[in-house]
A and B are shown apart, each in its own frame.
Chain A
Amino acid sequence: MKKHIVMSMLLIAALLAFSACTAVQPAAQRPGAAPAEGSGKLAQIKAAGKIVVGTSADYPPYESIDADGNFVGFDMDLIRAIGERMGVEVEIQDMPFDSLIAAVQEGKLDAVIAAMQATAEREEKVDFTIPYRMTKDAFAAAQDSTLVMEKPEDAAGHSIGVQTGTVQERWVQENLVATGLTPADKVFSYERADQAALDVANGRIELLLMDAEPAMELAKQTGLKILLITESTAEGGKSIAIPKGASDLKAELDRIIQEMLEDGTIQRIQEANGLP
Chain B
Amino acid sequence: MDVVQNLVTTFNFILQGVWVTIGVTLVALSVGLVFGVAMAMARVYGPPFLQAVAAVYSVIVRAVPVVVIIFILFFVIARFVNLSPFWAGSLALGFASGAYQSEIFRGAFQAVPPGQMIAARAIGMSKLQAIQSIILPQAVRLALPAWGNEATLVLKDSTLVFVVGVPEILRRAQQVSARTLEPFMAFSVAMLLYLILTLVTTQVLQWFERRYRLQM
A interface with B by C-beta (< 8 Å): 1, 4-5, 7-9, 12, 19, 22-23, 26, 54, 57-60, 64-67, 69, 93-96, 99, 102-103, 106-108
Which chain A residues lie closer than 8 Å to B164 at the CB level?
A: 95, 99, 103
Would you list which residues of chain B between 43 and 83 have a CB under 8 Å from chain A? 48-49, 51-53, 55-56, 60, 71, 74-76, 78-79
What residue of chain B has the Cβ atom nearest to residue A7's Cβ? B52
> Which residues of chain B are near A65, meaning CB under 8 Å?
175, 179
Complex Cα–Cα for A99 and B72 (A) = 12
Q: Are A4 and B165 in contact (CB under 8 A)?
A: no
- Contact string against A for B residues 26-56, beta-carbon threshold 8 Å, 1 for contact and 0 otherwise: 0000000000000000000000110111011
Give B176 Cβ to nearest chain A Cβ, in Å: 8
Contact indicator B16/A108 (Cβ below 8 Å) = no
Which residue of the partner chain A has the closest CB to B172? A65
Query: Would you call A57 and B52 a contact (CB within 8 A)?
Result: no
Among B85, B167, B179, max chain A CB count under 10 A is at B179
Pick the residue among B9, B85, B175 that contacts A58 (CB under 8 A): B175
- The CA of A5 and the CA of B165, in the complex, are separated in Å by 36
Q: Is the CB of B52 within 8 A of A5?
A: yes
Contacts A23-B76, A93-B165, A94-B165 given: A59-B178 contact, CB under 8 Å?
yes
B178 near A9 with CB under 8 A, answer no
CA distance A95 to B179 in the complex (A): 16
Alpha-carbon separation in the docked complex, A5 to B141 (Å)? 30
Whether the Cβ atoms of A107 and B178 lie closer than 8 Å is no
A103 cross-chain contacts in B, Cβ below 8 A: 75, 164-165
Q: How far is the CA of A26 from the CA of B174 in the complex (A)?
A: 34
The reply on B162 being an interface residue by CB < 8 A is: yes
Q: Chain B: interface residue count, which band?
A: 20 to 34
In this assembly, does B106 line the interface, its C-beta being within 8 Å of a C-beta of chain A? Answer: no
DSSP class of A's interface residues: helix, strand, loop or mixed? mixed
The interface residues of chain B lying within 8 Å CB-to-CB of A60 are: 178-179
Nearest neighbor of B181 in chain A, beta-carbon distance: A60
* A12 to B178 Cα, complex, angstroms: 42
For residue A93, which residues in chain B have a CB less than 8 angstroms away from its CB?
85, 165
Known contacts A8-B56, A12-B60, A19-B76; decide if A54 and B51 are in contact (CB<8 Å): no
Residue numbers in B under 8 Å from A12 (CB-CB) = 56, 60
Please state if A69 and B165 are interface contacts (CB–CB under 8 Å).
no
> Nearest Cβ in chain B — how far from A82, in angstroms?
21
Interfacial residues of chain B within 145-183, with CB under 8 A of chain A in the complex:
162-165, 167, 171, 174-175, 177-179
Alpha-carbon distance between A59 and B179 when the two chains are bound, in angstroms: 8
Q: Given A102-B75, A106-B75 in contact, is the A4-B48 Cβ separation under 8 Å?
A: yes
Further contacts, 4 of them, CB under 8 A, given A8-B52, A65-B179, A94-B171: A12-B56, A59-B178, A106-B78, A108-B74
- B13 within 8 Å of A (CB atoms): yes
| Known contacts A65-B179, A95-B164: A9-B56 contact under CB 8 Å | yes
Point out the residues of chain B lying under 8 angstroms from A7, CB to CB.
Answer: 49, 52
Residue numbers in B under 8 Å from A59 (CB-CB): 178
User: How far does the Cβ of A99 sit from chain B's closest Cβ, in whole Å?
Assistant: 5
Give complex CA distance A93, B178 in Å: 17
Shortest Cβ distance from residue B102 to the other chain A in the assembled complex, whole angstroms: 15
Closest to B55 in A: A5
Contacts of A5 in B (CB 8 A): 52, 55-56
Q: How far is the CA of A64 from the CA of B181 in the complex (A)?
A: 12
